Structure 1
Amino acid sequence: MRILGLDPSLSCTGWGVIEKDGSRLRHVANGQVKTDARAPLAARLAQLADAVAAVAAAHCPDQAAVEEVFVNDNAQSTLKLAQARGACLAALGQAGLAVSEYAPRLVKKSLVGTGAADKAQVQAMLRVLLPGATIAGADAADALAVAITHCAFAR
């Protein structure tokens, strides 16, 4: 099974593709989609949707997994994150992929054992689970973590 994981953000969306064969995981690819903060919102969302569609077309995943919205004190930031997730979900839907969503705390708990894990702990566990993988950045690492979480919870 090939899984595309996404960590949506308007500024930098991380993506990661892994394959699961029985209990084995294999890194396929990962990267980040960055948008220009000076561009109009609609253009940034379109760029994000196009990039996610291109990743799906290039790597032909069987399923997709997306991190849920992390609600914070800044309502504007939460709204922009939700809009970025919407663009990602629309692109995945147009690609015909089944999409599962996971809370950030569940992703951390499934990889590290605690929902309060920090990014360094998640990245350390990724090095164990996906040895030899070169990770494009923190957002790509989070996306790979979402994909691995999906392996643990997908039916």
Structure 2
Amino acid sequence: MVILGIDPGVVSTGYGVLKIKGRQIEMIDYGTIKVDSKGEFPSRLAGVYKRLEEICACYQPDAMALEDVFFNRNTRTALAVGHMRGVIMLAAVHSGLEVYTYTPLQIKQAITGYGRAGKEQVRRMLKIILKLPELPRPDHAADALAAALCHHYLQQYQDRVTLGEGR
């Protein structure tokens, strides 16, 4: 199974690609999709959409894990990120992917065992679990890897529960 994790942002959207084979978890790629912060917003949306299509075509993911983003201060930023999430979901659906969304609390809980863990704790756990040579950076890319890994862990748990019900 290949999982594409996404951490949406208005200027920088993180992505992380994990390949799961049995008990092996392999980091395939991660990084950020950057768009011109001075460009027109519709052009930025189109740029992220196009790059996501390319990533999906290249890695052929089976699922997308999308981090839910919550804002309580800046309404304008919240709306812009909401538009970006819509474009990301559209790219996923056009690529035939199921989209799973997770809150930051769920992701941190799945990766570190503590839902209020800091970004540095999450990065350290990602480095250990994924056997990375260094801490994943930048933040959006690390968060995207964490979303993908969270999806794997929660899907694994759900599969066990489902198998247990069938007994």
TM-score range (shorter-chain normalised) is: over 0.9
TM superposition shift of 1:63: 1.1
The 1:133/1:45 distance shift into structure 2, 3 A limit, reads farther
For the aligned residues, what is the CA RMSD?
A: 1.3
Corresponding position of 1:62: 62
Find runs of 4+ consecutive structure 1 residues off by over 2 angstroms. 132-136
Higher mean displacement: 33-42 or 130-139: 130-139
Structure 1: where are the runs of 5+ without partners?
none
The one-letter code sitting in structure 2 at the alignment partner of 1:120 is E
d(CA) in 2 for partners of 1:133, 1:82: 34
1:27 and 1:133 in contact (8 A); partners too: no
Deviating more after overlay: 59-68 vs 135-144: 135-144
| Gap regions ≥5 residues in structure 2 | 160-167
Q: Does the 8 Å contact 2:107/2:146 carry over to 1? A: yes
| Alignment correspondent of 1:93 | 93
1:17 matched to which residue of 2?
A: 17
Say which one has the larger Rg.
2
* TM-score (normalised: structure 2): 0.88
Identity level (%): 34
Question: Structure 1 residues 133, 30: closer, same or farther in 2, change over 3 A?
Answer: farther
Aligned to 1:150: 151
- Note if contact 2:110-2:154 (Cα within 8 Å) is conserved in structure 1: no
Alignment of 1:118-137 (within 5 A): 118-132=118-132, 135-137=136-138
- Indicate how the Cα distance of structure 1 residues 39 and 147 shifts in structure 2: closer, same or farther if over 3 A, else same: same
Give the TM-score of the pair, scaled to structure 1: 0.95
CA contact (8 A) 1:32 1:136 kept: no
1:142–1:5: structure 2 CA closer, same or farther, 3 Å change rule?
Answer: same
